[in-house]
């Protein structure tokens, strides 16, 4: 069933690295224009879910569609912010250069980025407040600045759906606020944003949609309706006391 | 023959010129492609591939019975590629880690190659002499056709590198992300690996299987110290590689034809050592100097701040105070006081000091400055 109202539709998705499944039979329908958190304990398969949707990992079973079509056909509508720790920041390159990589997908094979791509990259750097650091070697940036560079790289892809793997990991409060403001701006512009998130306290404040994941999908829906002790307990296995009614 | 004589002979002696050109081109392609290996953290892959090439050389000789370089190198290429695929297979299909897979294939192939080599040497065939040059390399055996092959392969590698520059760069930095953008990462990956194997095989005759990996890694490791730009790094690595090749060969030729491989590698190691110590950005020497400098600056600032604390209790900030009241603060020495006076932040007279207006302002803004610079 193709339902074009869903930005992301995941059906029966099962992923395993070795023998034990990391994700089991996931059904997930994400409507367009939500800012969604994926929460769950360590090893729940949060990053794996994103990677399987993006085609980085090959699932054992199941299907993924983006606006009703397979990911391969829709990849220009999708941007990805990997975990900051997944790359070597001592790589010999500058902040601007990393952001320019976000334009490579639109360019396709062989074609080099030109003035237009550079301009877009500089704008993205400005949006994340990193324009002053454009020529800085990336290892000379702080953790928060590196995260912003990654965010700028995704922004320059000018996508409809953004996947972010723990963008708040190890960043200071200033960067966290800067990032969440950009995410809210994206939502305002009608984009769909999916974020792997760890800090349960901030879920109601930052997000309007949430998915509870622990190998199986526990629940998914509006934060106001499903972000409650019951689902938290089911996901984390202990009675999680969170000030939901803040 | 001395080194100077050697280099004078290059202009007149055809053989020497061929050898020099060959080792320069070889060093350049190894430096270039070695940069990729280093940045992909596949430094040891080169070592495994070069060792894996040895049985190919022996088998090619056993089949053809001839010592034609191209045939032997073709054998090396096949067995080098086979080793590479086995390594990948082991990493992907089993729980073994990369280093285990590399070590396993390296020793297995090299052991088998050595076995074949000793077997060949026991044969009653006069032709077999000289196969052992592939262990440590002998640049003196390079002939024009070898060098032509090197130039052609280097030309193709350079063309491919320029053509797929963007794809290579992004794959090196962030492979998963590259995949999400729609690039066939497997293709780029195989392309890079193939050229690395090709460069290794080309170098076997000159440098030998045992030390070939150093030829890939040393120029790249040295080049990384001098720049934060990928293109500059690859360019520098090619230059360092070429110089190592030329000088290494010159030294070995002028010293009773020592094995070329070890000498080239030692020359490359000099580049590495110099780069590690003297490069301005990442070198140990300048890092230490900068560290000391920062420490001294901080000591100075700390002393000034302490003086500021005393001076501001007085209505007149330039009121003189005795030096001995600084004794409670352990950070100062006579030298720091002199330095502070040189900067005109304080005035010393006899056993007394007083802050200048400039010094007072400087001390007042110290903390604010250091926090806004963060």
Of A78-82, A227-231, B254-258, B369-373, where does the model show the most confidence? A78-82
> Could you tell me which chain B residue has the CA closest to the CA of A92?
B228
If phi > 0 it is left, if psi is from -120 to 50 it is alpha, else beta; for residue B262 that is: alpha
Per-residue pLDDT, B371: 42
B278-331 pLDDT tens trace: 998 888 898 889 888 888 888 888 888 888 888 777 777 777 887 777 776 666
CB contact under 8 A, A56 and B228: no
CB contact under 8 A, B228 and A110: no
Other CB atoms within a 10 A radius of the CB of residue B116 amount to: 19
| 38-57 of B, contacting A, C-beta below 8 A | 39, 41
Smallest CA–CA separation between B104 and chain A, in Å? 23
Q: In what order do the strands lie in the sheet containing B346-349?
A: B321-322, B352-355, B346-349
Query: ∠ CA B368-B369-B371 to the nearest 5 degrees?
Result: 70
Look up the pTM and report it. 0.85
Q: Measuring CA to CA, which residue among B189, B231, B180, B188 is closest to residue A101?
A: B180
Report angle CA A107, A109, A112 to the nearest 5 degrees.
55
Could you tell me what percent of chain B has a pLDDT over 90? 47
Nearest CB partner across the interface for B180, out of A54, A92, A112: A54
Give residues with Cβ within 8 angstroms of B128, minimum separation 6: B61, B120, B121
Q: State the Cα–Cα distance between residues B223 and A77, nearest whole angstrom.
A: 39
Instruction: Select from B198, B227, B266 the least CA-distant residue to B34.
Output: B198
Question: Which of A162, A211, A165 lies closest to A185 in space, CA to CA?
Answer: A162
- Give the model's pLDDT for residue B127: 66
Alpha helices in chain B (DSSP H): 3-10, 14-39, 43-52, 54-64, 69-93, 98-121, 133-136, 144-163, 165-173, 175-180, 185-207, 212-224, 230-254, 260-278, 284-311, 334-342, 357-372
From chain B, pick out residues whose CB is under 8 angstroms from the CB of A137.
228
Tell me the pLDDT tens digit for each residue of B83-119.
999 998 998 888 888 889 999 999 999 999 999 998 8
Distance in angstroms (rounded) separating the CA atoms of residues A113 and A108: 10
CA-based nearest distance A16→chain B, Å: 14
Question: Which residues on B lie below 8 Å from A56 (Cβ)?
Answer: 176, 179-180
ipTM reported for the complex, 2 dp: 0.91
Enumerate the residues of chain A whose CB falls inside 8 A of the CB of residue B371: none
Chain A partners of B177 at a C-beta cutoff of 8 Å?
Answer: 80, 82, 101
pLDDT band at residue B188 using 50, 70 and 90 as cut-offs? very high
Measured distance CA(A158)–CA(B191) in Å, rounded: 30
B342 touches chain A (CB under 8 A): no
B33: distance to nearest CA of chain A, Å? 15
Q: Which residues of A touch B (CB under 8 A)?
A: 51, 54-56, 72, 75-76, 78, 80, 82, 86-88, 91-94, 98, 101, 104-105, 107-113, 137
Taking contacts as CB-CB distances below 8 angstroms, the residues of chain A near B224 are: 92
Average pLDDT over residues A58-84: 91
- Angle formed at CA B157 by CA A139 and CA B110, multiple of 5 degrees: 85
Q: Give me the domains of chain B, ranges plus CATH numbers.
A: 3-282 (1.10.3470.10), 294-373 (1.10.10)
Q: Span B215-233, mean pLDDT? A: 94
Residue B55 scores a pLDDT above 90: yes
User: Which residue out of A73, A93, A135 would a mutagenesis test of the B interface target, given it has the greatest number of B Cβ atoms within 10 Å?
Assistant: A93
């Amino acid at each position: 069933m193709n339902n074009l109202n869903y930005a992301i539709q995941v059906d029966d998705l099962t992923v395993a690295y070795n023998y034990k499944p990391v994700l089991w039979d996931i059904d997930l329908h994400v409507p367009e224009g939500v800012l969604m958190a994926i929460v769950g304990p360590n090893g729940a398969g949060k990053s794996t879910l994103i990677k399987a949707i993006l085609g980085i990992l090959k699932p054992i079973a199941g299907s993924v569609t983006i606006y009703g079509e397979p990911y391969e056909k829709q990849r220009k509508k999708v941007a990805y912010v990997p975990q900051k720790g997944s790359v070597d920041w001592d790589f010999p390159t500058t902040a601007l250069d990393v952001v320019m990589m976000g334009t490579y997908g639109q360019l396709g094979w062989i074609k080099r980025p030109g003035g237009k791509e550079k301009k877009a990259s500089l704008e993205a750097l400005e949006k994340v407040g990193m324009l002053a650091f454009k020529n800085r070697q990336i290892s000379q940036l702080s953790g928060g600045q590196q995260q912003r560079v990654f965010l700028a790289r995704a922004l320059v892809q000018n996508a409809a759906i953004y996947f972010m793997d723990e963008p708040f990991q190890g960043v200071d409060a200033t960067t966290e606020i800067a990032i969440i403001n950009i995410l809210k701006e994206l939502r305002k512009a009608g984009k769909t944003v999916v974020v792997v998130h760890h800090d349960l306290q901030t879920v109601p404040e930052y997000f309007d949609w949430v998915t509870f994941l622990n190998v199986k999908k526990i629940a998914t829906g509006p934060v106001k309706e499903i972000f409650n002790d019951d689902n938290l307990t089911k996901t984390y296995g202990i009675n999680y006391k969170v000030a939901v009614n803040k | 023959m001395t080194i100077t004589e050697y280099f004078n002979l290059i202009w007149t002696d055809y053989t020497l010129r061929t050898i020099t050109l060959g080792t320069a081109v070889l060093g350049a392609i190894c430096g270039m492609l070695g940069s990729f290996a280093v940045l992909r953290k596949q430094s040891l892959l080169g070592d495994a591939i070069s060792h894996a090439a040895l049985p190919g050389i022996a088998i090619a000789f056993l089949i053809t019975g001839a010592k034609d370089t191209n045939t032997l190198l073709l054998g090396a290429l096949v067995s080098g590629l086979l080793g590479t695929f086995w390594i990948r297979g082991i990493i992907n299909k089993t729980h073994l880690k990369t280093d285990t897979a590399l070590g396993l294939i390296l020793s297995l192939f090299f052991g088998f190659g050595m076995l074949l080599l000793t077997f060949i040497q026991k044969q009653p065939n006069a032709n077999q002499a000289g196969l052992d040059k592939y262990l440590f390399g002998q640049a003196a055996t390079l002939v024009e056709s070898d060098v032509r092959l090197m130039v052609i392969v280097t030309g193709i590698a350079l063309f491919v590198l320029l053509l797929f520059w963007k794809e290579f760069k992004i794959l090196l930095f962030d492979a998963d992300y590259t995949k999400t953008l729609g690039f066939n990462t497997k293709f780029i990956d195989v392309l890079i690996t193939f050229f690395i194997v090709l460069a290794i095989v080309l170098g076997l005759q000159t440098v030998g299987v045992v030390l070939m990996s150093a030829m890939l890694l040393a120029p790249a490791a040295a080049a990384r110290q001098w720049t934060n730009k990928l293109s500059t790094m690859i360019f520098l690595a090619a230059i360092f590689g070429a110089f190592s090749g030329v000088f290494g060969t010159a030294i070995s030729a002028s010293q009773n034809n020592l094995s070329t491989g070890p000498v080239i590698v030692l020359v490359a190691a000099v580049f590495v050592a110099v780069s590690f110590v003297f490069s301005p950005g990442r070198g140990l020497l300048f890092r230490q100097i900068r560290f000391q400098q920062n420490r001294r600056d901080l000591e100075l600032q700390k002393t000034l701040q302490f003086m500021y604390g005393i001076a501001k209790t007085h209505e007149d900030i330039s009121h003189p105070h005795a030096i001995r009241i600084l004794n409670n603060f352990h950070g100062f020495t006579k030298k720091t006081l002199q330095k502070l006076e040189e900067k005109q932040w304080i005035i010393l007279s006899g056993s007394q000091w007083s802050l200048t207006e400039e010094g007072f302002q400087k001390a007042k803004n110290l903390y604010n400055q250091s926090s806004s610079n963060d």
